[in-house]
Amino acid sequence: MIYDVIIVGGGVAGLMAAIEIKKESPVKKVAVITKGNLFKSNSSLASGGINAVLDQTNTQGINKHIQDTLKGAYGLAEKKSVEYMCQRAGGIIQKLTSYGVVFDKDEEGNIAQRSFGGGSEQRTCFVGDKTGSAITAALIKKAKTVGVEYLVNNFVMNITQLDKRVSGIVCLRRFDSSVMVYPAKAVILAGGGYSGIYRGFSTNAADYTGDCLAIALRAGLSLKDMEFVQFHPTGLAKTSYLVSEAARGEGGYLVNSDGDRFVDELDTRDVVAQAISEQINNGKKVYIDLRHLSSEHIETKLPSLYKAAFMQAGVDISKELLQIKPVAHYTMGGIEASMTTTDIKGLFVCGECGANGVHGANRLGGNSLLEGAVFGELAGQKALKFIDSKEYLPIDYNIVVKDQRWVDHIFDQETTKNFNAMRISLGKTLFEHVGISRTQKSLQIASDYLRYLRRESSTLHTMDKSRNNNVELIAILELRNALEVSEAIVLSAMKRQESRGAHFRGDFPKQNEAMKKHIVLKELKPQLFKVWEEDTGLLSKLRRFLSH
């Protein structure tokens, strides 16, 4: 099957791009490809809302949105991208409404807006506390109506290119583990971020392993600002479920085990997460307190949280405190792009996997769905323009053969190693050593461990040899991507010897103006496995753990 444009990823950004192309040019063949369930993208988990100044003539309000976003980004945002996003926001809400999203209304029947952290005005539009899932559900329907095809359960392994122009994608069809090629004139990467790598300590689905970033790196593109991993202040302590910022936006307090409030709940996420982490490090527990809100308010504005707290923690939030902890939530780093354009012609990026400079060192809550929608729309427009009068290019079958061999290799040999234990210990290692606070020492521990895992991962094989929907195969392929991306995070975090936004270095606690620049990573070199090799006791202990 060949397509004019293939979009990798079925979240808000990918769907907006697909709709934009099909709506403008119905004759074009457009497919959205996802590795799993279309309804389970990270966008659908972003619950609290989407920022916008609704009146597009309100220049003062739009300027405030721009200023808040720039301030929240700690000097590393690209002004052009921020201005574009904030100016387009009101129009995007109108467009989403026309696609069937029903935003909550105030008493006068206008779209209601709530407060979110770092915002100098109430500008977060919402659908209760399930804004992301309401938007994605409407977009999935709209995309289907305009004729976008869905290729679900396809794991993209690589892109192919000729003379720095994209020619298609190589993917694994999960149904029978065949390596397939889909030629395309343009490809849009919109496959999400990499917080899911912090497995067990993340609001993300575990399969958010930064696949698009690893694909881009292998294709010769650069990754930018990878050290900036945002920790959402309020994950449910028991399960890491996202306790939406909407809970604080609707008036919830944060209190410690002494019952004291200790931070402005609507400060930016980096500040609030740091403050909570400090309490926890001092032996306190931290809770969100919603008991002063009426039951009716909770039921209408926070229905998902009400249910989840009850189901996952046995807590009735209208009567009891809910224990929370900061967890990895969003990644500001990504594939280097100018707005949506990359250095490979015909290859565009949008949404969380791209680094277009909107968020800099720290993203404001409510700006992620906005960024996805605005830059998804733009990527669609750019791709449509690009394919005009373009021919298909030949596929580089070397990549296809290499990917097929890699898959066969994973099936063909036996193993006793437990990739699941590796994925869990990777998440734990990152949270502990590349978490809210890092130091050279903690980063070195993570780096050494990553090298060890990378070496081990090349000898991972499936125990189940069936080629039908083999979940082990996908887990191994995801782990390979996750390890490449993790190494990029650690290397960048080592390089940034200062604290800025979401990146806090315990050994460099101050912001350093000389470091007001981006860290860009072009490739990962094969590394030696020094420390783990030397510490034989530790190594054999770890081997025993991983083989169980």
**3-state SS class at 93:** helix
The residue sitting closest to ligand SIN, measured at its beta carbon, is: 48
- Dist CA 531 CA 325 (whole Å): 32
Q: How far is the CB of 408 from ligand SIN (least distance, A)?
A: 40
Q: How far is the CB of 95 from ligand SIN (least distance, A)?
A: 19
- Report the C-alpha dihedral over residues 466, 472, 478, 484, rounded to 10 degrees: -110
Distances (CA, A) of 225 to 308, 330, 436: 33, 13, 16
Q: How far is the CB of 193 from ligand SIN (least distance, A)?
A: 11
- Which C-beta is closer to ligand SIN: that of 78 or that of 250? 250
Tokens (6 digits) for 24: 């403008």
- Which C-beta is closer to ligand SIN: that of 240 or that of 244? 244
The question of whether 505 is a catalytic residue gets the answer no
Distances (CA, A) of 180 to 94, 161, 174, 189, 495: 39, 15, 10, 18, 38
Distances (CA, A) of 62 to 57, 127, 131, 363: 9, 22, 22, 17
* Residue ranges binding ligand SIN (CB under 6 A): 46-48, 242, 244-246, 330, 365-366, 368
Q: How far is the CB of 368 from ligand SIN (least distance, A)?
A: 4
Q: How far is the CB of 462 from ligand SIN (least distance, A)?
A: 35
- Report the C-alpha dihedral over residues 399, 401, 406, 408, rounded to 10 degrees: 160
The residue assigned the tokens 């990527």 is 379
Q: Which residues share a beta bridge with 336?
A: 355
DSSP state of 79: H
Q: What angle do CA 540, 482, 206 make, to 5 degrees?
A: 100
Note whether 355 and 317 are within 8 A (CB).
Answer: no
- Which C-beta is closer to ligand SIN: that of 133 or that of 442? 133
- Dist CA 170 CA 183 (whole Å): 9
Tokens (6 digits) for 400: 């296809």
- Which C-beta is closer to ligand SIN: that of 208 or that of 419? 208
Q: Of these residues, 269, 451, 454, 496, which one is catalytic? A: 269
Q: How far is the CB of 44 from ligand SIN (least distance, A)?
A: 11
Note whether 329 and 92 are within 8 A (CB).
Answer: no
Q: How far is the CB of 23 from ligand SIN (least distance, A)?
A: 26
Work out the end-to-end distance of the chain between its first and last CA atoms, rounded to an integer number of angstroms: 42
Q: How far is the CB of 114 from ligand SIN (least distance, A)?
A: 10
- Which C-beta is closer to ligand SIN: that of 365 or that of 435? 365
User: What crossing angle do the helices spanning 79-98 and 59-72 adopt, rounded to 10°?
Assistant: 120
- Which C-beta is closer to ligand SIN: that of 48 or that of 333? 48
Q: Do β-strands 154-162 and 124-125 pair in parallel, antiparallel, or remain unpaired?
A: unpaired
- Which C-beta is closer to ligand SIN: that of 21 or that of 46? 46
Tokens (6 digits) for 346: 């015909």
- Which C-beta is closer to ligand SIN: that of 230 or that of 457? 230
Query: Which residues participate in catalysis according to the annotation?
Result: 269
